[in-house]
Structure 1
Amino acid sequence: MFKRAPMLIFGLAHDFFGFHDSGNHLNDNEVFHDRDIFLEDYKEMNRSFKIYVYPHRRNDPFANVLLPVNYEPGGNYASESYFKKALAKSHFVTRNPSEADLFFLPFSIASLRHDKRVGVGGIQDFIKDYIFNVSHNYPYWNRTNGADHFYVACHSIGKLAMDKAAEVKVNAIQVVCSSTYFVTGYVAHKDASMPQIWPRKGDPPKQEISKRKKLAFYAGAMNSPVRKNLVQTWGNDSEISVHHSRLKTPYSEALLTSKYCIHAKGFEVNTARIGDALYYGCVPVILADHYDLPFADILNWRSFSVVVATVDVPVLKKILKEIDFDEYLRRQNNVLKVRSHFQWHHFPVDFDAFYMVIYELWLRRSSVRGSLSALL
């Protein structure tokens, strides 16, 4: 299906067998797996990639679900809305479906969840009916049974939303934040991981390394065994600062004064903590097994983060202490290089989160280009 295979195979095996990141890997100095290939592909993507968005009127009863929001997105699941707003303003959209590489199913899981006419319990039926209408009113779905279609969802309920539309889950490209290849419903390489990013205004802050006194930091709700184990093990430590609830002091201050910022799995493998860490120049520590990390087809996560198996929580300090200061500086410097890829903008900016998601979609464009004229 892919015209250029994603470059994740080693990373998947590494995480699956539970090895922690020792830092001794080939080419770990490089932020990109292959920068030259990425830039070559990126240029071609900008030149030729086209997406057809199923059209809906502004007076549609569910315009709030199907059209981009007319306000500034916020909160934990803003990535979904930012993508849709950015796509609508981009040069990738075509009104001519015969030249489209992919077709966008523009329903918003977050909006459906909050719509009193639908709610959590009605999302599956809404999606089922939507796909029925698309497949009966347009010829495009039926050419590939949806393999050249995609939807975007940041809330974890997005995976369950397809339970009554199995053809979407099996065939379409699912661009989701809760991207774990350990459970049924997400297929690495077919589907794509999108970062969960809390929107922030302005340029990221600068902080001198000498002011990062804490070894590591975590704060959050205790909604998973991983987080409970983390707090029970390191809750009273003088170098690793972990908290079982929200901080009473500014969250940003803790991120700016720590060398490493811990992303610990909650209900799902994803949270906004990776985006938070990158924004504040803190090296992320990934405590979430089987997480298909965002943009892992493009970025070498070992160059700017530390991946630790959840079973290794008791030796977390040892793992971090074994990373010498020069190695920490290299990773922290790479954090500053990659964080622009984890930011949304009102109008897309080259190489930002929108363009990185688009590139992941470009890698997954179908090689099957049926002739519309034969179907019409």
Structure 2
Amino acid sequence: MNSSLKIFVYPHKPNHPFANVLLPYKFEPGGNYASESYFKKALMTSHFITNDPSEADLFFLPFSIASLRHDKRVGVGGIQDFIRDYIYEISHEYPYWNRSGGADHFYVACHSIGKMAMEKAVEVRGNAIQLVCSSNYFLQGYVPHKDASVPQIWPRQGDPPNQPPSKRKTLAFYAGAMNSRVRESLVGLWKNDSEISVHQNRLKTPYHESLLGSKFCIHAKGFEVNTARIGDALYYGCVPVILADHYDLPFADTLNWKSFSVVVSTADIPELKKILKEIEFEEYVKLQKNVMEVRNHFQWHTFAVNYDAFYMVMYELWLRRTTIRVY
């Protein structure tokens, strides 16, 4: 992959009316949807870029769904029209889209609004590779094995902290808004428990202290199957508990999630404590050790570092590239 994968990015000048949407973000990305911007910044400075379309394995559609959402000229209601017009523009200016119907093209979207962005560009939804955070097996428009799951990661600077299992006194931790039945069930059943610490709002104490002090950190689906909580848990060395049915987990083509997380059906929330308590300490230590080994795969850098989130996404693209080039 490192030596042969080549990506052509549709070029746009800095004076383009939508340069803010099409060119890499000028500043350090932040917020819940930073994965989208980090990927673009890392790609544009990587050795995977080619200026020769004839040698390209894949073509990157560089629009940013998060930027379109915040652009007053577009907004949530205008994203579908923008994407439709953008595909029309590149398919008439360049020959590359038409020769494959977009099958060797891809885009990245971390905000959940991305799931509706292609409604007026059906060839994108049906043919192009969609790298998205909202990777629900039953989501209309998401096609497993064609599309790929990208982790939603809150950006953090510096090396991750280390906290050994012996100092993690809380069995399991969760805090977040009540925007799904899964979260309502979780908090309703366990809010008064002495070993499982769940909260229906933001904590008054530092969030990271709870992550560092817990053996297991619960990822409970909200509006979508994805949140930044998996990335949070891994960064702080806490074993993730996945409470999100039908979630096509990030990098599942490469990583064995059972080796560093616990996946629990949402129907088994009443049995959550029993399930976690049945994990013997030796088994937990193995899970936590594996968390420490995989967490570098869930970190972004402005300039990519080997095996970080950028390289993991590139490997997902490598697996999905077409094996036959159409000239």
If the TM-score is normalised by the length of the shorter chain, which range does it land in?
A: over 0.9
Could you give the per-residue CA deviations for residues 131-154 of structure 1, whole angstroms, max 9, x where no partner exists?
A: 001111100001110000000000
Could you give the per-residue CA deviations for residues 195-254 of structure 1, whole angstroms, max 9, x where no partner exists?
A: 000000000011122210000000000000000000000000000000000000000000
SS at match of 1:46: coil
- Is 2:24 aligned against 1:53? no
In structure 2, the residue matched to 1:313 is 269
The alignment's C-alpha RMSD in Å is 0.5
Q: Which one of the candidate residues 110, 120, 129 is aligned to 2:85?
A: 129
Separation in 2, partners of 1:135, 1:182: 30
- Is 2:308 aligned against 1:348? no
Q: Which one of the candidate residues 202, 208, 215 is aligned to 2:171?
A: 215
Separation in 2, partners of 1:205, 1:99: 42
- The within-5 A match list for 1:174-323 is 174-323=130-279
Could you give the per-residue CA deviations for residues 116-136 of structure 1, whole angstroms, max 9, x where no partner exists?
A: 000000000000000001111
SS at match of 2:3: helix
In structure 2, the residue matched to 1:161 is 117
SS at match of 2:85: helix
In structure 1, the residue matched to 2:38 is 82
- Is 2:23 aligned against 1:67? yes
Give TM-score, length-normalised by structure 1. 0.87
Separation in 2, partners of 1:353, 1:338: 10
Code of the residue aligned with 1:362 in structure 2: it is W
Identity within the alignment, %: 77
Structure 1 unmatched runs, 5+: 1-44, 372-376
Structure 2 unmatched runs, 5+: none
Code of the residue aligned with 2:130 in structure 1: it is Q
Separation in 2, partners of 1:218, 1:370: 49
Could you give the per-residue CA deviations for residues 320-370 of structure 1, whole angstroms, max 9, x where no partner exists?
A: 011100000000000000000000011100000000000000000012301
Separation in 2, partners of 1:46, 1:59: 32
Please say if residues 165 and 288 of structure 2, whose CA atoms lie closer than 8 Å, have aligned partners that are also in contact: no
Could you give the per-residue CA deviations for residues 9-48 of structure 1, whole angstroms, max 9, x where no partner exists?
A: xxxxxxxxxxxxxxxxxxxxxxxxxxxxxxxxxxxx0010
Could you give the per-residue CA deviations for residues 34-81 of structure 1, whole angstroms, max 9, x where no partner exists?
A: xxxxxxxxxxx0010000000000000100000001100000000000
Equivalenced residues, count:
327
Separation in 2, partners of 1:277, 1:183: 25
Separation in 2, partners of 1:96, 1:170: 26
SS at match of 1:158: helix
Structure of greater relative contact order (alpha carbons < 8 Å, 6+ residues apart): 1
